[in-house]
Amino acid sequence: MVFSSERLLFTPATPEAAAIPTIFAFPNQYSVGITSLGYQVVWASLASRRDLQVSRLFTDCQEQLPAQPELLGYSISWELDYVNILNLLELLAIPVRTTERQQQHPLVFGGGPVLTANPEPFADFFDLILLGDGENLLGDFIEAYKEVRNADRTTQLRHLAQVPGIYIPSLYQVSYRDLTGGIQSIEPVDEEIPPQVQKQTYRGNTLSASTVVTEKAAWENIYMVEVVRSCPEMCRFCLASYLTLPFRTPSVTDSLIPAIERGLQVTNRLGLLGASVTQHPEFELLLDYLCQPKYEHVRLNIASVRTNTVTPKLAATLAQRQTRSLTIAVESGSERLRQIINKKLNNEEIIQAAVNAKAGGLKSLKLYGMVGVPGEEMSDVEQTAAMMQAIKKAAPGLRLTLGCSTFVPKAHTPFQWFGVNQQAQKRLKYLQKQLRSRGIDFRPESYNWSVIQALIARGDRRLSQLLELTRYYGDSVGSFRRAFKQLQGKLPELDFYVHQDWSTEQVLPWNHLLGPLPQETLLKHLT
């Protein structure tokens, strides 16, 4: 049994007699779910409460589930996991749509980056959605639920709608210009319901760390520590930066080192997480700490580092700690395009990072790029190929990989108004031809997956009927096109959601859900 392999770094509470029966699900396999730091931390928060009786549920295994759960929660990290959300609801004999649920059914809630960014395509499946950081929001939710635990479902939802950060989709009415047009308005059902819901931001000095270590995780026996939250760079397409603002950095001595020491008591594999780990203001101090001889046995992984922070010392430390590769995000080889994106880097810094990585003893360097960024010309893509060749020449023997995705517009970022560039697939093929013939490993992310991602990222509530259909057709673009054809006349075309540039005047599906920055500020960041 997978659960018997777990080493817990917290003490679960013994539930009291009247504890609320709760299921906390991850809509994927156990090995994937237990590797999600967000899932681990929320599960530990819930399991540490005496007023809850918590059971975990994955697609391939489960703990003993309550016969009559009152709460069913999902942590969602990946858009296409919606299929498993619906499958697990059916497994539990819970109606997929909120409108069909009765008093005996649990309240179905969800959280995580996918739902915080834009929950609207999933709005008809969730009774409530937690927008933002769970540190304070989870407790507020449970306490508010306890106040109306014995009330009818409608009363419960109306009460929960008053809690900052809790979004009850059924209490907001969306009207459309016509069946296949844009949104006319999004209004609460009456004046007692807040017209807008604000994402909740945790501002404490302690970030997340693993609550469980197991050999059954996708990253075997890894202990993860969140070193930074958000990113100070604010690239205009980047959800990881804009949705999670402000940039937060816990104290190395008071927070990070104690957390790391806890984890290293049960494993020798350490992962430092964050969108830009090396931009922690005390990162050198953390590096010096990990350089101590007593940690020679530790295998160290760093999620992603800012290119101009790759020093020979950083590379040497990683090499000594059994890391062979480093990952940097460069987006493009074009200086002009990086300026449009707000990526504050020049090619000399990128080449120097490769030289430093090799000098420090690393064997390979992985770069992340992107095609189809607003404003991109074919000449920009050619410059990416030229830059990769220049890196290869400057650091011979260093194995180079370019992972490349297609630009996907994300809610709450300045580029949310732009569509997916239809030339992107051609540009990925160009890079593949140019780089592979020169011995550079090129790993493109599927263009078709980017289309589906954009559809869900920019979708409104009308997509729920589409998601229900495609579940039976499969998760290919062909399946989505087939579903659009079947629903013709009931919602806009695929192109409206995916490829069209939207007017900055139009009502966005998430207009009533407030991110860290208001629309006016995002518009200013566009220029």
Contact call for residues 186 and 172 (beta carbons, < 8 A):
yes
Give every CB contact of residue 263 below 8 A, 6+ residues apart in sequence. 9, 209, 210, 213, 223, 225, 270
Amino acid at 16: E
Which pLDDT value is given to residue 277? 93
Which pLDDT value is given to residue 168? 98
Contact call for residues 490 and 460 (beta carbons, < 8 A):
no
Q: Which two tokens stand for residue 272?
A: 């430092």
- Rounded CA gap, 196 and 515, in Å? 11
Give every CB contact of residue 47 below 8 A, 6+ residues apart in sequence. 10, 12, 13, 54
Is 508 buried (19+), middle (13-18) or exposed (0-12) by CB count in 10 A?
Answer: buried
Each residue of 172-222: pLDDT tens digit?
Answer: 999 999 999 999 999 999 999 999 999 999 998 899 999 999 999 999 999
Please report where in the chains the tokens 């040497």 appear, as a residue: 316
Please report where in the chains the tokens 């844009």 appear, as a residue: 182
Which pLDDT value is given to residue 200? 97
Contact call for residues 513 and 197 (beta carbons, < 8 A):
yes
The Cα angle at residue 117 between residues 114 and 119, in degrees rounded to 5 = 70
Contact call for residues 498 and 420 (beta carbons, < 8 A):
yes
Which pLDDT value is given to residue 324? 84
User: Are β-strands 399-406 and 364-371 bridged in parallel, bridged antiparallel, or unpaired?
Assistant: parallel
Which pLDDT value is given to residue 392? 97
Each residue of 380-432: pLDDT tens digit?
Answer: 999 999 999 999 999 999 999 999 999 999 999 999 999 999 999 999 999 99
**Side-chain half-sphere exposure of 156, counting CA atoms within 13 A:** 22
Each residue of 12-49: pLDDT tens digit?
Answer: 999 999 999 999 999 999 999 999 999 999 999 999 99
Contact call for residues 421 and 406 (beta carbons, < 8 A):
yes
Which pLDDT value is given to residue 303? 86
Each residue of 100-146: pLDDT tens digit?
Answer: 999 999 999 999 999 999 999 999 999 999 999 999 999 999 999 99
Angle of the 424-436 helix axis to the 378-394 helix axis, nearest 10: 20
- Rounded CA gap, 255 and 6, in Å? 24
Which pLDDT value is given to residue 477? 86
Which pLDDT value is given to residue 517? 96
Residue 158 CA, distance from chain mean position: 28
Residue 366: pLDDT over 80: yes
Which pLDDT value is given to residue 210? 98
Which phi and psi (to 5°) does residue 234 adopt? 55, 55
Amino acid at 459: G
Which pLDDT value is given to residue 212? 98
Residue 527: pLDDT over 80: no
Read off the DSSP letter of residue 192. Answer: T
Residue 482: pLDDT over 80: yes
Each residue of 233-261: pLDDT tens digit?
Answer: 999 999 999 999 999 999 999 999 999 99
Q: Which residue ranges make up each domain of the chain? A: 221-445
- Rounded CA gap, 477 and 447, in Å? 10
- Rounded CA gap, 9 and 7, in Å? 7
CATH topology of domain 221-445: TIM Barrel (3.20.20)
Look at the chain and count its residues. Answer: 527
Residue 64: pLDDT over 90: yes
Each residue of 270-310: pLDDT tens digit?
Answer: 999 999 899 999 999 999 999 899 999 999 999 889 999 99
Average pLDDT for 470-495: 92
Mean pLDDT of the chain: 96
Residue 434: pLDDT over 90: yes
Closest to 287 in 3D by CA, of 268, 303, 300, 306: 300
- Rounded CA gap, 117 and 318, in Å? 34
Which pLDDT value is given to residue 476? 82
Amino acid at 20: I
Handedness of CA 414, 201, 512, 464 (dihedral sign): positive
- Rounded CA gap, 478 and 459, in Å? 18
Write out the DSSP string of 233-299: S--TT-HHHHTTPSPB---IIIIIHHHHHHHTTT-SEEEEESTTGGGSTTHHHHHHHHTSGGGTT-E
Beta-carbon count within 10 A of 192 CB = 10
